[in-house]
Amino acid sequence: MNRVQIPQLMPDMPCVCDSGKPLRECCAVPGGGVAKALPRIEPPRPRSGYSHPRCYLRSTKDCSEKITGEHFISRTVLEVLGDMVAIDGAPWLPAGERREIGINSLTAKVLCDRHNGPLSPLDRSAGELFGRLLGIHRDMRRSSLSRKGSIWLTSGEALERWMLKAACGFFYSKNASKEAAALATDHVIDDALVVRALFSGVWNHGCGLYMRAGAGMTFTTAGAVSISALTSSSEKRVVGARLIMGGLWFDLLFDNSAFDEEWYQSGWVYRPAELIFENGRRLHRIWLSWPMPGTGYSLTLSYKGSPALLKKGGRR
């Protein structure tokens, strides 16, 4: 596969994260690379010593007494799709049915405000990413001779932890289901793994964010979102979540008790370094920074006809 050369980034140019600051004062790192820092997401010190019985992070013993309404798929992400979204896979829907509902309906009281507030940067980061993805799609589809492309940097780590937050919210809100029954009635989540990954970024072998790279995937702007729980086949435990939005597939594993290495080596990329969008005239790049290297691979969406094709590229 032919690769377009990445332009040289100059220290005084505007940072590629769109902060408005010069690159040297923002996301530049020693050696000429760039990295988007993850904001602090832990509650402020000192610890409260309290565990709210309705907060799914109560095992930290750092809750407040107030429980808050939370969109299990963040409002900032849902707003990218509009006031109404099409959703499937919920236990209150007949099997195979997709229904349009208002985004205000997708809420549940599963976090205390001491945890919910500090986690909001993850929601903003995910909303920015999905907004950028759909904006690029519209640009790829418009009739224009322009060759102006773009480079944008975001935190892959923030997206990964947002997916973990969404997986927990989906489960504890009792919207995660299997055969029309809420998984929360007879499945469990390993809270220790969740807390360690969410606040310390420590994941078991094989765990973290994967993106699907199978050819023939359609990238659309339809206001549809699908989220489902990933469960262990041998135990009644939820081990991750799958999110499909805008035609892209994201898998998040936080519990490797059901990890299948062969499955994820076929058509999936672990912690991709970049997403490339091309249509023969214009090329857009989204760079994803990670604290530790992933595969170093890119995913390419090619808009040469319909549908767009998502394929695995080379190392960045």
Q: Which strand ranges, in their side-by-side order, compose the sheet holding 297-302?
A: 150-155, 283-289, 274-278, 297-302, 309-315
- DSSP letters for 170-206: HHHTT--EETTEEGGGT-B--HHHHHHHHHH----TT
State the residue for tokens 């995910």: 126
Name the residue among 215, 201, 211, 198 with its Cα closest to residue 271.
Answer: 211
What pLDDT sits at residue 1?
A: 32
Name the residue among 135, 184, 165 with its Cα closest to residue 73.
Answer: 165
Burial class for 94, CB neighbours closer than 10 Å (0-12, 13-18, 19+): exposed
Residues ≥6 apart with Cβ < 8 Å to 308: 137, 140, 217, 218, 219, 247, 301, 302
State the residue for tokens 């229904």: 99
Summarised one tens digit per residue, pLDDT across range 169-206 is 889 988 787 766 788 889 999 999 999 999 999 999 88
Summarised one tens digit per residue, pLDDT across range 35-69 is 999 989 999 999 999 999 999 999 999 999 999 98
Q: Low-confidence residues of the chain, pLDDT below 70?
A: 1-7, 81-105, 179-180, 213-224, 246-247, 263-265, 292-296, 303-316
Prior bond of 53 cis (ω within 30°): no
Q: Are 301 and 219 in contact (CB under 8 A)?
A: yes
Burial class for 181, CB neighbours closer than 10 Å (0-12, 13-18, 19+): exposed
The domain segmentation of the chain, as residue ranges, is 82-103+123-315
Name the residue among 199, 170, 257 with its Cα closest to residue 57.
Answer: 199
Residue 84, beta-bridge partner list: 102
Which amino acid is residue 231, in one-letter code? T
Q: For 211, which DSSP code?
A: E
Task: Provide the token pair at 65.
Answer: 């007494």
Q: Left (φ > 0), alpha (ψ -120 to 50) or beta: where does 247 sit?
A: left
Q: Give the H/E segment covering residue 241.
A: strand 238-245
What pLDDT sits at residue 21?
A: 96
Residues ≥6 apart with Cβ < 8 Å to 46: none
